[in-house]
Amino acid sequence: MNSAAGLGQPTHLFFYGVLQEGLGPDGGDWPFLKGLGMGAPATTQGALYAIPTEHGWHPALILTQARYSIVVHGAIHEASHVDIAAVDEFEGASYTREVVPIDGWDGYGDTQADAYIWTDDLPEGAELIAGGNFAEWLEATGRKAYSVG
């Protein structure tokens, strides 16, 4: 399991990958996100990679030095009523949930939210998403988002 357990229930979650609205199974949302509040477009800084699996692609956000960072696009959600243990379990051992600075929620750029940060080595076949937007990368490449089942 990842090291998110010590963080407790987050106030906000930042999703930049397959947990974004419309990227779940069959173009819908993931059932375990029930209770997640409405989202708003938001960004953070880091390096974003696409990771291939037999079930599709998922992204990996890596926190990095400022000179190597790009703007990573996603959505911030109010998260006080979501089953965070289920989300942590879905993300698995390759990610840790960490508090990161987010721009876009309040217009001031000083909001913080929990985000899932990649902690493993990048696997063979991982691709840099230079534009920082996983959903746009999927569309541009014709690849499919990770989906179980």
DSSP string, 82-111: S-HHHHHHHH-TTEEEEEEEEBSSSSSS-E
- Give me the pLDDT at residue 1, please: 38
- Give me the pLDDT at residue 6, please: 56
Among the ranges given (18-32, 41-55, 100-114), the one the predictor scored with the smallest mean pLDDT: 100-114
The DSSP secondary-structure symbol of 66 reads: G
Instruction: Name the percent of the chain lying above pLDDT 90.
Output: 70
Instruction: Characterize 65-90 residue by residue with b for buried, 16 or more Cβ atoms within 10 angstroms of its Cβ, and e for exposed.
Output: eeeebbebbbbbbbbeebebeebbee
pLDDT over 50 (residue 14): yes
Position with higher pLDDT, 1 vs 138: 138
CA torsion sign for 125, 66, 141, 50 is positive
Give me the chain's average pLDDT, please: 89
- Give me the pLDDT at residue 104, please: 77
- Give me the pLDDT at residue 105, please: 63
Provide the pLDDT confidence category of residue 4 given band limits of 50, 70 and 90. Answer: low
